[in-house]
Amino acid sequence: MTPSSTNEIPVREPAILPREIRTPRLLLRPWRAGDAAALLPVLEANRTYLEPWIPRRVSQPAPIPILSQRLAGFDEDFAANREWRFGMFSPDQCRVMGEVGLFPRAASGRVPFVDADRVELGYWLRADDTGKGFVVEAARAILGAAASVPRFSHIEIRCDARNAPSVAVARRLGFVLAETLQEGTELAIELQVWTSPLERFHGQLR
């Protein structure tokens, strides 16, 4: 008998971005379920620092089995080219420092990769590592990789105007403030949209 087509193993699209990037001070790679034990104390120690700025599904501490599932999902999304979240580690992987990620986007918002014409940069860093240039170093590296993807013409950073460290990263990367959006009703939030041509980062993997 000929195997039914429903039993065939689906063909996975080739990876858009490398699964490991090294910079002078960092190792960047997709999250793994096994990172949960090392990540949990970082989320617990930085909960108050991170919660105002990043989604709860990323910043909220959780029991290790649940956190492992969360990280496994991030890894699946990376492999399927839905979004690319890189855990940010010391070169020996003994220290979890944060995350830097890329998300396919169009004028309408975040979209599947096939519908994207730009990419959004997101990041978070533990409080005791701020002010040392780690996010800028990591961002330049992954944007250098993304610059080789023909579909992406430019890069955006969207951040709350009150988030001074995030705004500082956009400025240090040479982004231009394109617009400020008012979000929310009772408590209005100024969402800044910073942009840059992606070609500026070509060749900046190191």
Q: What is the pLDDT of residues 169-190, one digit of tens each?
A: 999 999 999 999 987 655 568 9
Burial category of 74 from C-beta neighbours within 10 Å (exposed 0-12, middle 13-18, buried 19 and up): buried
Q: How many domains does the chain have?
A: 1
- Domain span holding position 75: 17-152
CATH number for the domain harbouring residue 50:
3.40.630.30
Residue 195 lies in a domain: no
pTM higher than 0.95: no
Backbone angles phi, psi at 11, to 5 degrees: -85, 125
Q: Considering only CA atoms, which of 89, 95, 100 is closest in space to residue 27? A: 89
pLDDT at 2: 44
Residue 111 lies in a domain: yes
Q: What is the pLDDT of residues 69-89, one digit of tens each?
A: 999 999 999 999 999 999 999
